[in-house]
């Protein structure tokens, strides 16, 4: 074989090698980007779910407080007859 043929074969093999590894690197890079995007989506989703759960617990707590307040008010209002009578005597 002549030097020129050898050089041509070497160049062809180098090009095949470069194309193969470029393809492998490109595929791995795409997989990494995809995994990072999915991880970000999962983190955001988890964060939103956690925030929703905190808000739900806060709303439940506020509702319970309102129910307790309503019970207290219903016990105090309207004033019973005895209290109304005592109030009239004081005036």
- Residue 17 — very low, low, confident or very high, per pLDDT cuts 50/70/90? very high
CA distance 53 to 32: 31
Report the pLDDT value the prediction gives residue 8, as an integer from 0 to 100.
Answer: 92
**Residue 78: what pLDDT?**
72
Mean per-residue pLDDT for 2-23? 92
Residue 91 CA to residue 82 CA, distance in Å, equals 15
Higher pLDDT, 88 or 9: 9
Q: Which residues contact residue 79 at a Cβ distance below 8 angstroms, ignoring those fewer than 6 apart?
A: 87
pTM as predicted: 0.48
Taking the C-alpha atoms of residue 22 and residue 50, their distance in angstroms, rounded to an integer, is 42
- Compare 58 and 2 and report the one with higher pLDDT: 58
Say what the pLDDT of residue 87 is. 60
């Amino acid at each position: 074989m002549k030097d020129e043929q050898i050089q041509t074969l070497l160049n062809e093999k180098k090009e095949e090698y470069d194309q193969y590894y470029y393809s492998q690197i490109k595929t791995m890079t795409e997989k990494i980007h995809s995994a990072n995007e999915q991880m970000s989506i999962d983190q955001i989703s988890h964060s939103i779910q956690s925030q929703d759960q905190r808000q739900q617990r806060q709303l439940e707590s506020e509702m319970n407080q309102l129910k307790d307040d309503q019970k207290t008010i219903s016990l105090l209002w309207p004033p019973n007859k005895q209290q109304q009578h005592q109030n009239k005597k004081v005036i």
